[in-house]
Amino acid sequence: MIVSLIMVLEGAPVESVAPRLRRDLPDMVRSNWLLWVPFQFVNFRFVPPQLQASLWGGAGWGRGTSSCLCGAADSSAFSLTAASQRRRSYRQASSRAIAA
């Protein structure tokens, strides 16, 4: 599971991953649903198909926002600098995809 891999890459001891997942996964799933279900509704209902990829790419802040909803806002992986770098790279990739 990607969440456990991220935890290990962030430096969490492997032994603590399973208990943390049991404790935090329901909140993670709930917060992701709160964010992505409405977003995808708007995306598929109102955005033309040729622009949907750029809209999704521009929502790279979603991971950080979702993490904040779960109380992991102090994690360095979700710092404002890292989030702005991710948004910049998503926008550049989206621009290249639209131009192609």
Report, as an integer, the average pLDDT of 58-71.
53
Instruction: Report which DSSP code applies to 10.
Output: T
| Most confident of the ranges 18-27, 47-56, 78-87 | 18-27
Domain ranges, ordered by start, for the chain? 2-99
39, 29 contact by CB (below 8 A) = no
With a cut of 80, say whether residue 41 has pLDDT above it.
yes
Is residue 97 a contact partner of residue 53, using CB atoms and an 8 Å limit? yes
Mean pLDDT of the chain: 75
Sign of the Cα torsion 50, 52, 55, 61 reads: negative
